[in-house]
């Protein structure tokens, strides 16, 4: 992916997240409190200080201590989204222009040229193909096809796991954010009921802070979780699409280069590698 397209994706991602944040804080913004009705009985208590406007910082403060872990989760979602936009994209994982050159070399049965082309790119497809090509036995290419397909499947599985490493953290944040929001909600409700027990039932203004804390934490946790879930499925769908299309490309290349029957789909080798405890990478 070109630098211009990569920057465009990053900008679009940031704009989308900023728009969601703006909608969130617009929903939470409340109108100033109405003035006291005429003829209301005077009170000797000092009037409560009411903010005429609601700012971003005041909303964050109203959420209480739970906004600190929720803020960390929101920053993590933005960082992971931008990072995955740079790492997980179809053009980078499945370079069709390079694959066309490899197919042309396969049609001519030019194994050194194919290997050189595959090793020239750092993508999921080319890494798996290069690992399989070195397993071809020149004296018995058809007999070595089973080993080639097995190696390609195992390496493709490891590469998919490597690219999906940071994608899975979005799934983790999808579960964590509502839990932090729920903890903040419970904390706010505990404070509200404590004031009710202390005799504040007849003074709703004393409960407003704790109830506001509960609602702000709930809304924040849900919005962070929804955003993380959306981008998780976007990136996971890209990886699944790449793996499915790669299987057909691998088969076509091996048919042109080696020939012989397909022993087993490449994706089946990926599943077997995970089942049998193969060293599927979870690291960079």
Strands (E), the chain: none
Return the ∠ at Cα 63 (arms to 71 and 59), rounded to 5°. Answer: 85
Q: What is the pTM of this model?
A: 0.66
Radius of gyration of the chain from its Cα atoms, rounded to whole angstroms: 29
CA–CA distance, 14 with 79 (Å, rounded to integer): 10
pLDDT along the chain (284 residues), means of 10: 53 54 48 42 47 54 72 91 90 90 88 88 89 84 85 90 92 89 77 66 61 77 92 93 90 81 52 48 37
Question: Residue 245: which H helix or E strand, with range?
Answer: helix 204-257
pLDDT at 55: 56
CA–CA distance, 9 with 2 (Å, rounded to integer): 11
Task: Tokens for 59, please give them.
Answer: 């909303």
Distance of CA 25 to the CA centre of its chain: 23
Question: Residue 27: which H helix or E strand, with range?
Answer: helix 3-28
Site of tokens 């050189």: 116
CA–CA distance, 63 with 185 (Å, rounded to integer): 9
pLDDT at 10: 58
pLDDT at 23: 45
pLDDT at 138: 78
The C-alpha torsion from 205 through 211 and 213 to 215, rounded to 10°, is -140
Residues 6+ apart with CB under 8 A from 1: 89, 91, 92
Question: Residue 71: which H helix or E strand, with range?
Answer: helix 67-87
Backbone torsions φ then ψ of 276, nearest 5 degrees: -85, 0
Return the ∠ at Cα 17 (arms to 26 and 28), rounded to 5°. Answer: 20
- DSSP at 198: I
Task: Tokens for 3, please give them.
Answer: 């630098």
Task: Tokens for 22, please give them.
Answer: 């703006």
Task: Tokens for 283, please give them.
Answer: 């690291």
């Amino acid at each position: 992916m070109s630098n211009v397209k990569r920057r465009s994706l990053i900008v679009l991602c940031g704009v989308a997240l900023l728009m969601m944040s703006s909608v969130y804080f617009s929903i939470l913004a409340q109108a100033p409190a109405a003035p006291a009705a005429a003829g209301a009985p005077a009170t000797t208590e000092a009037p409560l200080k009411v903010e005429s406007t609601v700012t971003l910082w005041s909303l964050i403060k109203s959420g209480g201590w739970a906004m600190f872990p929720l803020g960390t989760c929101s920053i993590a979602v933005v960082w992971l989204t931008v990072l995955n936009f740079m790492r997980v994209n179809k053009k980078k994982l499945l370079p069709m222009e390079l694959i066309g050159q490899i197919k042309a070399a396969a049609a001519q049965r030019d194994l050194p040229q194919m290997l050189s082309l595959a090793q020239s790119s750092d993508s999921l497809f080319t890494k798996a193909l290069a690992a399989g090509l070195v397993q071809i036995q020149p004296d018995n290419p058809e007999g070595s096809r089973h080993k080639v397909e097995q190696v390609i499947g195992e390496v493709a599985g490891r590469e998919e796991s490597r690219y999906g490493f940071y994608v899975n953290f979005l799934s983790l944040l999808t579960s964590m954010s509502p839990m932090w929001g729920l903890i903040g909600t419970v904390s706010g409700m505990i404070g509200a009921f404590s004031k009710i027990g202390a005799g504040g039932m007849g003074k709703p203004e004393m409960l407003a802070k704790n109830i506001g804390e509960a609602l702000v934490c709930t809304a924040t946790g849900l919005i962070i979780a929804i955003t993380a879930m959306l981008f998780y499925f976007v990136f996971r769908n890209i990886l699944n699409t790449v793996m499915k299309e790669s299987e057909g490309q691998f088969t076509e290349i091996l048919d042109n280069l080696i020939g012989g029957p397909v022993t087993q789909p490449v994706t089946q080798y990926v599943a077997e590698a995970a089942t049998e405890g193969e060293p599927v990478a979870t690291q960079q």
